[in-house]
């Protein structure tokens, strides 16, 4: 289901956002295709790309390109983006999950390359980050509650970790796709929040950093109706292996250079 009424307050804000409201609309607009490209991760899938500790993913929809997290440094990030044949200037939105350096560290250098973007930051960020974004000539939006980012792309809003963190939700025809940066609020809580917000009782794919949860997370994912998993970054090898064993062909070995195509066929 779609979070609606959001368009009405979907304004570029230059001051701290007030608490947003969520309205649920009866009709559903789902994305039929999306491509997810890992451009920063400590796990490696394509040896032509560079690895470093952190997370960054480009989401391509029919509407636009969104960068979710910028890794720890812009040099690695931009190198990898270009290796995947993506023009950094074709990205027009950036979403930052949380304040840790391995997610926000590449932002300033990315903006030096392309400032023609809107950056969706957690509202709890200090003003120094807003000042940096505007001094590079880019715009920012403070995110507190859940909201729309793009057609069929939403943020969970800030959930408490610590630190406060937002995760992305893509409402696809195949089901919900949930992308987490580090999952400090707990990956199970994030998946529950995404299902509740979107009025769904399962999720097609959960991917990103899961913040080394207990092995029981695998069973919890099954209970939550998660069909595919692509854990990386801070998930930890034992949990990753447990997911691989349980999910078999629905475990996606995710890491830098990996492209996941979402297609309704």
Residues of this chain that bind Zn ion (CB under 5 A) = 100, 102, 182, 234
Quickly list DSSP for 179-225.
Answer: EESS-TT-HHHHHHHHHHHHT-S-EEEEEEE--S--TTHHHHHHHTT
> Least Å distance between CB 211 and Zn ion?
7
Is the CB of residue 64 less than 8 Å from the CB of residue 170? no
Nearest to residue 225, comparing CAs of 246, 248, 200? 200
> Least Å distance between CB 174 and Zn ion?
27
> Least Å distance between CB 232 and Zn ion?
10
Quickly list DSSP for 60-103.
Answer: E-SS-EEEE---S-HHHHHHHHHHTT--GGGEEEEE---S-HHH
Using the minimum distance from each CB to Zn ion, give the nearer residue, 81 or 234. 234
How many helices, marked H, and strands, marked E, lie in the chain? 7, 15
The DSSP symbol for 165 reads: B
Q: Which residues contact 147 (CB under 8 A, 6 or more apart)?
A: 3, 6, 10, 20, 154, 155, 157
Using the minimum distance from each CB to Zn ion, give the nearer residue, 20 or 186. 186
- Output the CA torsion 168→164→4→204 (10° steps): 30
Using the minimum distance from each CB to Zn ion, give the nearer residue, 61 or 167. 167
> Least Å distance between CB 152 and Zn ion?
26
> Least Å distance between CB 167 and Zn ion?
12
Using the minimum distance from each CB to Zn ion, give the nearer residue, 53 or 79. 53
Cα–Cα distance, 195 to 107 (Å, whole number): 29
The owner of tokens 């009424």 is 5
Using the minimum distance from each CB to Zn ion, give the nearer residue, 182 or 242. 182
> Least Å distance between CB 150 and Zn ion?
23
Using the minimum distance from each CB to Zn ion, give the nearer residue, 204 or 210. 210
> Least Å distance between CB 233 and Zn ion?
6
Using the minimum distance from each CB to Zn ion, give the nearer residue, 51 or 150. 51
Cβ atoms within 10 A of the Cβ of 28, count?
13
């Amino acid at each position: 289901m779609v979070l609606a009424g959001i368009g009405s307050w979907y304004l570029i804000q230059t001051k701290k956002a007030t608490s947003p409201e969520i309205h649920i609309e009866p009709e559903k607009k789902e994305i039929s295709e999306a491509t997810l490209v890992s451009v920063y991760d400590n796990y490696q899938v394509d040896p032509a790309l560079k690895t470093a500790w952190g997370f960054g993913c480009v989401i391509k929809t029919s509407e636009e390109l969104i960068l979710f997290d910028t890794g720890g440094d812009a040099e690695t990030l931009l190198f990898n983006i270009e290796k995947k044949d993506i023009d950094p200037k074709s990205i027009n939105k950036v979403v930052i999950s949380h304040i840790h350096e391995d997610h926000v560290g590449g932002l300033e250098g990315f903006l030096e390359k392309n400032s023609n973007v809107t950056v969706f930051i957690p509202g709890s960020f200090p003003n120094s980050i807003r000042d940096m974004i505007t001094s590079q000539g880019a715009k920012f939006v403070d995110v507190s509650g859940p909201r729309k980012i793009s057609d069929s792309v939403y943020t969970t809003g800030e959930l408490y970790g610590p630190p406060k963190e937002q995760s992305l939700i893509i409402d696809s025809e195949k089901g919900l796709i949930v992308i987490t940066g580090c999952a400090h609020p707990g990956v199970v809580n994030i998946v529950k929040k995404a299902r509740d917000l979107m009025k769904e009782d399962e999720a097609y794919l959960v991917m990103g950093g899961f913040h080394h949860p207990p092995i029981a997370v695998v069973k919890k994912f099954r209970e939550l109706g998660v069909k595919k998993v692509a854990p990386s970054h801070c998930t930890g090898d034992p949990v990753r292996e447990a997911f691989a064993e349980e999910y078999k062909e629905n475990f996606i070995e995710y890491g830098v250079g990996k492209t996941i195509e979402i297609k309704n066929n």
